[in-house]
Chain A
Amino acid sequence: MQRVLKWSCATAVLLVITAAGLAWAEDAAKPAAQPEPTTVKSLQKQLLEENAPAEPKAKSAETAAAPSEAAAGSEADGLSPSVIALLLFIFVLAIFIGFEIITKVPPTLHTPLMSGSNAISGITIVGALLVAGDGQGVSAFIGFLAVVLATINAVGGFLVTHRMLAMFQKR
């Protein structure tokens, strides 16, 4: 039990650091006129520095490898391909965390787990808000519709999960 907690703490720290790196990378990518090599190189350096205290070298090397790999495609796409590589990296990492955690959920809780995790997939609401505000006319309406649907999913999902879990907890 404690090992799991420690393990997930470490992962969380790693994730937050990666996030900071990601945000930094986006900032660095903003002046698009700058030549690519500097961006990637300094990004690597930054990631190495930031990762070092939290995780052993292997992890940092892994993190740093992602942007350098993506650098190859950077000439075709104008804007920060390192960001995509990082997003992919984060995606895969999150799937592993998901596997690790969910396998420990007892069958008794499978239904609440499903409705709860489904509510989490209502996170699309963030995307909906971002596009709903930007557009006009049709795209704004589509965004509005997405806001409504995602909100039903999130609010309804968390509430009904709570209802179920409260039944399990009563005693």
Chain B
Amino acid sequence: MDSVYLQVAYFVAAVLFIFGLKKMTHPRTAVKGNALSAIAMALALAIALISRDGYVYIFVGLMAGAAIGVWLATTIKMTSMPQLVALFNGLGGAASILVAGAALMLDPHQQSHELIATAATGVIGAVTFWGSLVAFGKLQELKAFKKPFHVPSQQMVNGLLAAFILAMCALFVVLNTGHGLVYVVIVIAASALGVLLVNSIGGADMPVVIALLNSYSGLAAAATGFVINNVVLVISGALVGASGLILTSLMCKAMNRSLTNVLFGVMGEGGEVADADEVYRNVRSTSADDVAMILDGAQRVVFVPGYGMAVAQAQHAVRNLAKVLEEHGAHIEYGIHPVAGRMPGHMNVLLAEADVPYEQLKEMDEINQTLDTVDVAFVIGANDVVNPVAQTDPNSVIAGMPIIEVGKARTVIVIKRSLSPGFAGIPNPLFAADNTLMLFGDAQKAVLEILNAVKENL
């Protein structure tokens, strides 16, 4: 390979990545951290360009990629962020497959460790790419992905497929001539596995999948690093892999489910599902005017957003309502459940877009400690993450899942389109609690109505 200086320069880039990520630990320094990572990338790119003769089409590729990247990044709406992240994950995986494939064509007589790395890149890259594409389709709500297509005895098919992939990888390494055809077979089989794995996952489990695919895209890059013996790929790939794994485990914890449980689809076989009609017998609905009356004189108001807020794009309306209440002396906070939305941190991004101050965004554990002193708690398009059954019924499918305990607030106002169940498919007794009022309707419209009523009142 190249000279010592190039290697050291690659390493400087890798260290810059580490510092870039370190600065991501606080909102004030995060912009700098991201810039630092981008500089590191530019540095690594420059080194790669220097270490070889320039070719026109490399530059064409760089320009084309940069143009598409800029276009996607600047035109995407904040509400479409989960799709974009899924798409970018997939592209990284695809690039890794291609690099390992091209390296194999250039040097079919790879050593066995390189062959292992190539096979690993093919498997991880293909699962990442196709898994991400399916995730993208689901998040974008493309028709073809609305319902998972049915695969008879899916677990077994997945298992057989995985075994087949492993066997092919073994063959690939044993053949020892870097057989291109076997690599292609591995990639195709892993593609099928990627599609099948994500196919059955949906709804509230999406944050886990996105985080996991994020991790895979990093691991694919690291595996590619082993193929071409490049340090900076190995280090940055490992960093991303670690980051994705941590997010994955955080998301699983926030749902009190294991990763295998999420990946293999089925929610736990909970005891008997309570009858919805029975649970909802005492539901009381309310109107925007009544809500405005309740808000009059409220000292502490907490908003608990869920995926429904994202769907209705209600974040700006919520922020405006909060502003008006704030002007009249109310203390505003937002309680955010880790798995609210479709990717880790989804709600925070939406609220930040609507100019909600960072200090008002409270994590679940923090807000739970003070909820009993809250006058009015708004639940906007959230369901399972505020379902008290998680704490009261040990046989429930969501038993043990940490929730935001809005029921402790003096008055709970739930804005929701209907009484339909959330992803867990169980009724929510919170909606029928004595201190709960339901305001049925589209989140954005409902909040705007409340806002108008409040303005008239005050």
Contacts and interface: CB of A to CB of B under 8 A. Distances in A.
B457 to A, nearest CB: 29
A43 interface: no
B38 interface: yes
Size band of the B side of the interface?
35 or more
A16 B69 contact: no
Given A121-B220, A167-B352, A110 B55 contact: no
A10 B18 CA distance: 12
B19 A8 contact: yes
Contacts of A121: 89, 92, 217-218, 220-221, 236-237, 240
Contacts of B48: 125-126, 129-130
Given A110-B345, A131-B103, A168-B27, A159 B73 contact: yes
Nearest to A145: B98
With most chain A CB atoms within 10 A of its CB, the pick from B11, B214, B227 is: B11
Contacts of A65: none
A37 interface: no
B363 interface: yes
Residue of A91, A104, A147, A149 most packed against chain B (CB within 10 A):
A149
B85 to A, nearest CB: 5
B68 A108 contact: no
B260 interface: no
Contacts of A159: 69-70, 73-74
A149 B98 contact: yes
A171 B344 CA distance: 23
Most buried by A among B53, B61, B113: B61
A39 interface: no
Contact of B238 (A8, A12, A94, A154): A94
A109 B105 CA distance: 41
Contact of A20 (B4, B15, B64): B4
B69 A143 contact: no
Contacts of A130: 48, 51-52, 228, 230
A126 B10 CA distance: 10
B30 A112 contact: yes
Contacts of B224: 124, 127
B95 A117 contact: no
A78 B176 CA distance: 14
B247 to A, nearest CB: 6
A171 B243 contact: no
A90 interface: yes
Nearest to B238: A94
A83 B111 CA distance: 13
Interface in B32-79: 33-35, 37-38, 41, 44-45, 47-49, 51-53, 55, 57-58, 60-62, 64-66, 68-70, 72-74, 76, 78
A47 interface: no
A157 interface: yes
Given A111-B81, A130-B228, A123 B44 contact: yes
A132 B55 contact: yes
B41 A122 contact: yes
Given A128-B98, A165-B34, A120 B74 contact: no
B321 interface: no
A112 B91 contact: no
A113 B12 CA distance: 21
Given A26-B1, A97-B18, A112 B349 contact: yes
B89 A128 contact: no
A115 interface: yes
A111 B64 contact: no
B7 A22 contact: yes
Given A27-B4, A78-B111, A158-B38, A108 B358 contact: yes
A120 B70 CA distance: 16
A2 interface: no
A90 B231 contact: yes
Interface string B86-104: 0011011011101101110
Contact of B349 (A139, A146, A157, A164): A164
Contacts of B146: none
Interface string B336-370: 10100001111011001101011001010000000
Interface string A133-152: 11100111011111111111
A39 to B, nearest CB: 16
Nearest to A142: B102
Interface of A: 4, 8, 11-12, 15-16, 19-20, 22-24, 26-27, 76-79, 81, 83-84, 87, 90-92, 94-99, 101-135, 138-140, 142-171
20 contacts: A8-B19, A15-B14, A19-B231, A26-B1, A87-B225, A91-B234, A106-B25, A113-B24, A114-B243, A115-B81, A117-B244, A127-B224, A128-B61, A139-B102, A142-B102, A150-B92, A151-B66, A151-B68, A152-B65, A155-B70
Q: What 4 pairs between A and B have smallest CB-CB spacing?
A: A151-B65, A98-B242, A110-B345, A156-B69
Given A124-B224, A130-B228, A162-B34, 8 more contacts: A23-B6, A120-B17, A123-B236, A145-B98, A152-B65, A155-B69, A159-B69, A169-B31
